[in-house]
Structure 1
Amino acid sequence: MPELPDVEGFRRVLSVHAVGRKIRRVDVLDTGVLRGVSADRLRQTLTGRRFGRPWRHGKHLVVPIAGSDSVVLLHLGMTGALHWSSDRHRHDRVVFVFGSGELAYRDMRKLHGLRLARDEADVRRVVAGLGPDALDLTRAELREQLAGLRRQVKPALVDQAVIAGLGNLLADEILWRAYVHPRRPCTDLDADDFARIHARMRTVLRQAIPQGRVPPRKTWLTGRRDEKSGSCPRCGTTLNHGRVGGRGTAWCPRCQPD
């Protein structure tokens, strides 16, 4: 599932290859990813235009259209991605054709998709239900978002209405580094817990963003969690696996006691 580092990587792909170049054609190969816009309207709005500088909020990618009030909104869901390529893939859903290549919105499961916002006010309405972006979150804001919630800490972290941008892998990695069990109630967290969670969140994001993904390093929990006899990179204890808030979760029973 794309998380904040992945979406940052897709933003870079778009910025490097597509921003400022004229869109010669828009090929809508599957209308199943269009949300609130027809294929004809999308083509009419974008053909001959240029993408402006994209920005991101959580897992949403916001792409202004130069010389227009319209804005493309991409939510990449579980399997969405942007690829700069001249070769078509069977899961390409919408392809923006330029003189020097093609930018493909590729998505296997089509759980979310592409919107065409009328203006910036429309964009604000779409993202209004999201929490603050994880990359910009201060320690005080983290505590404000979580303190007092009557729920476990991991489901709170991956709830986009609480904090935007964190997914399953990031939440597990952050909590493991912060020595916090994923089932700890938010009401049980103290000032030191919030300080550790915030510090580890910033470290994990800073290290993952240049990779454009959550890297499967052996020194990270995410590099060991899928091994048959996966062990904690810090203490060597065999990892526990279970479901927390309905999501597959890994943690170290020694570093993250109940």
Structure 2
Amino acid sequence: MPELPDVEGFRKVLDSCARDRRIQQVDVYDAGVLHDVGERRFRRELEGRSFTRPERHGKWLLAPTGGPTLMLHFGMTGRLVCCRPDDERHPHDRVAFTVGRDRQLRYRDQRKLKGLWLSDDDGVARTLDLQGPDAAAVAREDFDALLGRRRGAVKAALTDQSVIAGIGNLLADEILWRSRLHPSRRADRLTDGERARLHGDMRSVLRSSMRAECVPPRDSWLTGHRDDPRGTCPRCGTSLSHGRTSGRSTVWCPHCQPEKA
């Protein structure tokens, strides 16, 4: 599932492919990915405009046009691809924006769990008001306050977009493994030192992942071993545990991340 680093990568694709280029044509191959707007109005509102500087908040990508803002959420399988207009259409291409004469920005999504919205400034604000602060920018003091109000599992707090925006399953497991915290620890019972370590590790993992534009499956990371049914902890060699925390599949090291009350 695309998480904050992936969406940052998509922001770079949009910026390099389409920024300041006139939207010559919008092709909607599957209107099922459009939300709160019909195909005809979607094309009418965007054709002739230009994408300006794109922004990201958590897992949301915002593409202003000088009129409405195109808001993109990638669900589990969405992505942006920069192509030439005459490149063969992929079976999962849902919407294409021809920008200038030689480029086409395509929204590609197999499962279509999220999609595209057109919003004015008030609509963008309403959407972002439901999100917590961006995980890559949240200050330590705000992070402490947010976790201190959560009585549930720390993993559930990290992956709740209304608490902190941008962290999904892979990032949460990686960050908690770095911090040596069991995923089911209660967020409001973490010590000051544990919260400080968690915040620092979150920022470090995000910086590396944003450079890679994904959560990289490196041998020195938990992510590089989590999909191996016989995977071992890259830090201590203990067999990894697999389970569910707050309904999410979860991987952790029982030695490095002992469960506490």
TM-score range (shorter-chain normalised) is: over 0.9
The aligned counterpart of 2:146 is 145
1:155 maps to 2:156 = yes
Deviation at 1:168, TM superposition (A): 0.2
1:77 maps to 2:78 = no
The aligned counterpart of 2:115 is 113
- Alpha-carbon RMSD across the aligned residues, in angstroms, is 0.9
Deviation at 1:7, TM superposition (A): 0.2
* Amino acid across the alignment from 2:56: R
Aligned mates of 2:141, 2:155 — CA distance in 1: 18
Given the two structures, how large is their TM-score scaled by the length of structure 2? 0.96
Aligned residues: 255
Deviation at 1:97, TM superposition (A): 1.1
**Percent sequence identity over matched residues?**
53
Gaps of 5+ in 1: none
Q: Out of 100, 103, 108, which is 1:101 matched to?
A: 103
The aligned counterpart of 1:28 is 28
- Give the SS at the match of 1:256: coil
Deviation at 1:122, TM superposition (A): 1.8
Deviation at 1:130, TM superposition (A): 0.5
The aligned counterpart of 1:44 is 44
Deviation at 1:224, TM superposition (A): 0.5
The aligned counterpart of 2:225 is 224
Gaps of 5+ in 2: none
Runs ≥4 residues deviating over 6 A: none
Given the two structures, how large is their TM-score scaled by the length of structure 1? 0.97
Deviation at 1:9, TM superposition (A): 0.1
Aligned mates of 1:34, 1:25 — CA distance in 2: 16
* Amino acid across the alignment from 1:13: V
Aligned mates of 1:186, 1:228 — CA distance in 2: 28
Aligned mates of 1:125, 1:248 — CA distance in 2: 30
Map 1:155-234 → 2, pairs under 5 A: 155-234=156-235
The aligned counterpart of 2:88 is 87
Aligned mates of 1:2, 1:231 — CA distance in 2: 25
Q: Deviations over 1:26-85 (max 9, x none)?
A: 00000111000111111111111110000011000011003x2x1101111111110112
